[in-house]
Structure 1
Amino acid sequence: MENRKIIEIGEILEKANTGLDAIKRAPIVEYDSGIKCLRIQDVSQSKKFEDWGFTEVSENNFGKFQLKKGDIIVARTGATIGVNRFINEDINAVFNNGLIKLKVNENKCLPKYLFYNLQSYNYWGYIDGISGGTSTQPNMQINALLKYEIQLPPLPEQKAIASVLSSLDDKIDLLHQQNQTLEALAETLFRQWFIERCPEPVEGEAKEDWEELPFSEWINETVGGDWGKETLQDEFTKEVYCIRGTDIADLLIGIPTKTPIRFVKEKKFQSIEPKEGDIIIEISGGTENQSTGRAYFINNEIKSLFGKDLVFSNFCRLIRIKDSNYSFFVYLYLKYLYDQDEFFNLENGSSGIKNLDYKSLLFENKYKMPKEDLVLKFNDQVSNNYKKINQNKFQIQTLTKLRDTLLPKLMSGEVRVKI
């Protein structure tokens, strides 16, 4: 390609190194030390800075391992090898030894240009090829990563390419921020009306007058899921997306991108297809630090986002709501309980896999419940929030597809940008 060189990324780096030992030199502490530590799970789960753990490090180690503007952080061990994150500004944080920091020589390459190269299909194919270790703990060597080849155009073209892709990412990030704000407003209103009981919106009704009732007041039944088959076979002919606990987590913040395609029996599909207003809740898979119980509502707009019929795995349970106008109330009540860590008390099972006692949660345990008219008023108040959230998700989906289509074409030179 004219004016483009093929280089190994090691040729454009000032430095590549792993981080601090997570036990001795950068342990996570329970108090605010003023310094955060970036770990693999923070990168793979795209956690915000405020959600990273605090650490204690020596002044010398902080100076050597501080995260600074333009750094690219890459996971080198575990199931998410190759996942990476761009550091936009100098921050009071270090990184641990499960990660690699790439420091780019900016006289040769723009950090953002390299970062976008590390989002391409070519990159992920390369990562698969160099991942070693065991099936339970894969890993990669720094030297192998540094041999990854990219096309390197002149700096002005790098800047133009990065600008196009960054513009799309900025629009996507803005929509995500809007959705976080809209969701937070709905959660705040829920707490005011049903937990804190702010008097203004309830016309003098006293919380003490509410009855203690189970969630079954608002639901008809629960339905078990079906994992189906990986391929088309025998009676398993209905092609569907199958929602798992991890897909519920993705729905809470955006759009699931890795929901697997499965095949189920047509008759089974008819009985377990989510309907308008239903809620899917994760009932198996909790860990010591994270309980089961993540939940999300389903409506026709959510189903349209997937673009294919939906079912849910047998690690989840469908809650069939009596009236779709109760859905946001039940969903936000369950989310409130989850955020309060209430579901840890309803789990059983081994130390490895936890199971939620959903029968106790929904049919036996009792909670202060409002009258129906207040639930309907609440639905009227928050339904527009979630309509806007879903509209934003459609825009995010469109912009993401555009970015993912453009990225390899820009990197290969198939599409050129004006300089």
Structure 2
Amino acid sequence: MEQGVLEIGDGYRAKNDELGGSGLIFLRAGHVTDTHIDFDGVERFVTLDAKRFGPKIARAGDVVVTTKGNSTGRVAFVTGHMPAFVYSPHLSYWRSKSDAVLHQGFLRTWSRSNEFSAQLAAMSRSTDMAPYLSLSDQRRLRITLPPFAVQRCIGELGDALDDRIDLLRQTNTTLESIAQALFKSWFIDFDPVRAKAEGREPEGMGAETAALFPDAFEESAFGEIPRGWTVRGLDSFANYLNGLALQKFPPESEQEYLPVIKIAQLRAGNTAGADRASARLKPEYVVHDGDVLFSWSGSLEVEFWCGGDGALNQHLFKVSSKDVPKWFYYQATRHFLPGFREIAAHKATTMGHIQRMHLTEARIALPPADLIGALGEFIGPLLERRITNSLLARELAALRDTLLPRLISGKLRLPEAEAQLNEATA
């Protein structure tokens, strides 16, 4: 910016001996998605001393931009509840240097505008090498600044939407933690059965729930399991459908197609920038909101898909079952995810993966169907609420990305935008 009110900096070049501890997070570009910053599996510094990193440590309000590789141009924002972290070299941060000229909230909103995305796309294509955004490129950005009072209003509206979306994500994290804790206690550690076998009342549940569990164990090839339960491999009660090599199924036209859901889309939770495939695939290879997807190669993840209809690419399983409800096969698969990741990490290939035999070998004690049905009344709604929240967050993000650029361009007035927002969130 010619007015010199925007600070643009890059990340810290960490040495190997500085990492591997339990200190500050070292955030790499792969953890910046199109919707949020993902802190799962991040590296950490040995030190907790933030002073040594100067401006390269994140501050609430920062706009974060990825600057190298196929992910170039992804944008995320730093919120106050995020843990402290240090930017890596393939990330840039943007900060307002003058609260009287450039409102930081407006800057975050502007980074979603067509004016920004068009400039960024042109800059990232300015080299024959892999896409790259240098600091000098970014510092040539031109921002159309409305009067500061207008900036503030636009920024506050954008922040309100982002806060609502962020709250939904935080709620989902809590719901997931509760569901996982219940699943582990009931179906992995058998805490209620152990308590009853020892003549104690199971903790954290009423008498009606406790009555659903047996009060004794029996021997199995798996070891001791609750009486009346059976030992089953994951693929014996759930179907793991592998996706297609979708380059063999091109789209019918520019208007008729399905976005291709690859590992990158699964991690991001949306199909922004996705490849396109035929809209006439067999129904089982079409992914819908609420489906459970499991990436079994590369970055191993198990997630509820809430990014709209898409085509199932190879290296992804769509998981379903006729024997057990969704919450059970989702939680059962997630339970084995750390072990699957360990297997994949030791594969002597460039992209670690698991094989179908590992699904068979991943065995769990399965309760009778009536018991699963009864216990599903406790865990099932938690995960259904997760899906509902994710869909609402998607709707709010779409509303934000529609309203705010029109506000910035002057095509929409603030009262009209506020009315549309109130209608959508009523």
Bin for the TM-score computed over the shorter chain:
0.7 to 0.9
TM superposition shift of 1:14: 5.5
Structure 2 SS opposite 1:149: coil
The question of 1:404 aligning with 2:373 is answered: no
Give the AA of the match of 1:204: D
Is 1:127 aligned with 2:125? Answer: no
8 A Cα contact 1:348 1:357, kept in partner: no
Look up the SS of the partner of 1:106 in the other structure.
Answer: coil
1:263-412 maps to which residues of 2 (within 5 A)? 263=278, 266=280, 269-270=282-283, 272-273=285-286, 279-284=292-297, 286=298, 290=299, 292=300, 294-296=301-303, 306=308, 308=309, 310-323=310-323, 325-338=324-337, 340-345=338-343, 350-358=348-356, 360-412=357-409
Which has a greater percent of strand? Answer: 1
Provide the rounded CA distance (Å) in 1 between the counterparts of 2:365 and 2:352: 27
Deviation at 1:166, TM superposition (A): 1.2
Counterpart Cα distance in 2 of 1:415 and 1:276: 31
Tell me the CA shift for residue 112 of structure 1.
1.6
Distance across 2 between alignment mates of 1:248 and 1:71: 25
Output the amino acid matched with 2:376: N
What's the offset of the Cα at 1:380? Answer: 2.5
Tell me the equivalent position of 2:95: 103
1:232 and 2:286 correspond: no
Counterpart CA distance in 2 for 1:192 and 1:91 is 29
Aligned pair count reads 383
* Structure 1 partner of 2:45: 55
Q: Distance in 1 between matches of 2:79 and 2:288?
A: 42
Query: Are positions 1:214 and 2:214 aligned together?
Result: no
Indicate if the aligned counterparts of 1:348 and 1:356 stay in contact, CA closer than 8 A: no
Corresponding residue for 2:187? 194
Contact 1:18/1:98, CA 8 A, preserved across alignment: yes
- Taking structure 1 as reference, are residues 217 and 378 closer, same or farther at Cα in structure 2, changes over 3 Å only? farther
Conserved 8 A contact 1:347-1:357: no
**C-alpha separation in 1, matches of 2:2 and 2:232:** 63
Greater displacement, 75-84 / 114-123? 75-84
For residues 212-236 of structure 1, what are the alpha-carbon distances to aligned partners after superposition, in whole Å with 9 as ceiling and x for unaligned? Answer: 33224413x5444222533318xxx
Looking at structure 2, the residues matched to 276 and 81 of structure 1 have their Cα atoms a distance apart, in angstroms, of 27
Instruction: Kindly report which structure 2 residues correspond to 1:161-180, keeping only aligned pairs within 5 A, or say none.
Output: 161-180=154-173
User: Are the counterparts in 2 of residues 68 and 91 from structure 1 also a CA contact under 8 Å?
Assistant: no
CA drift of 1:160 comes to: 0.7
- Counterpart of 1:72 (choices 45, 63, 67) is 63
One-letter identity of the residue aligned with 1:218: F
Deviations 1:197-216 (A, max 9, x none): 12134242435344433224
Q: 1:111 to 1:271 in 2, by over 3 A?
A: closer
Residue correspondence of structure 1 range 124-163 to structure 2 within 5 A: 124-131=117-124, 137-163=130-156
User: Structure 1 residue 29 and structure 2 residue 19: aligned?
Assistant: yes
Contact kept, 8 Å, 1:240 with 1:262, in 2: the verdict is yes
Shift of 1:146: 1.8
**Residue pair 1:126, 1:148 contacting (<8 A) in 2 also:** yes
SS of the residue 2:94 aligns to: strand
Tell me which of 28, 32, 35 is aligned to 1:39: 28
Task: From the superposition, tell whether residues 350 and 132 of structure 1 become closer, same or farther in structure 2 (CA, over 3 Å).
Answer: farther
Aligned partners of 2:50, 2:378: CA distance in 1, in Å? 51
TM-score w.r.t. the length of structure 1 is 0.78
Structure 2, unaligned stretches of length 5 or more? 193-201, 203-209, 218-223, 419-426
Q: Structure 2 vs 1, CA of residues 65 and 401 (structure 1 numbering), >3 Å: closer, same or farther?
A: closer
> Using the alignment, how far apart are the partners of 2:317 and 2:6 within structure 1?
51
Tell me how far apart the structure 2 counterparts of residues 62 and 392 of structure 1 sit (CA, whole Å): 37
* Equivalent residues of 2:33, 2:74 under 8 A apart: yes
Supply the distance in 1 between the matched residues of 2:31 and 2:288 (Cα, whole angstroms).
34
Following the alignment from structure 1 to structure 2, what is the Cα–Cα distance between the partners of residues 341 and 186?
Answer: 20
| Pair 1:23–1:211, CA change in 2 (3 A) | same
Instruction: Summarize deviations over 1:244-276 as a string: whole Å, max 9, x none.
Output: 23333345xxx5555544106x4x514545699
1:398 deviates by 2.2
**Cα distance in 1, alignment partners of residues 216 and 265 from structure 2:** 39
- Which 10-residue stretch deviates more, 182-191 or 271-280? 271-280
Is the CA contact 1:40–1:99 (under 8 Å) kept in the aligned structure 2?
yes
Aligned equivalent of 2:206? none
Q: Which moved more, 1:385-394 or 1:328-337?
A: 385-394
- State how far apart, in whole Å, the 1-side matches of 2:84 and 2:235 are: 48
- Secondary structure of 1:389 counterpart: helix
CA contact under 8 A between 1:329 and 1:378: conserved in structure 2? no
SS of 2:353's equivalent in the other structure is: strand
Residue 365 of structure 1 deviates from its aligned partner by 4.8
**Deviation at 1:96?**
2.8
Indicate conservation of the 8 Å contact 1:218/1:326, yes or no: no
Partners of 1:296 and 1:36 in 2: CA distance: 24
Over the aligned positions, Cα root-mean-square deviation in angstroms equals 3.5
SS state at 2:225 partner: helix
Q: 1:3 is matched with which residue? A: none
Task: Tell me by how many angstroms 1:155 deviates.
Answer: 1.4
Secondary structure of 1:341's counterpart equals helix
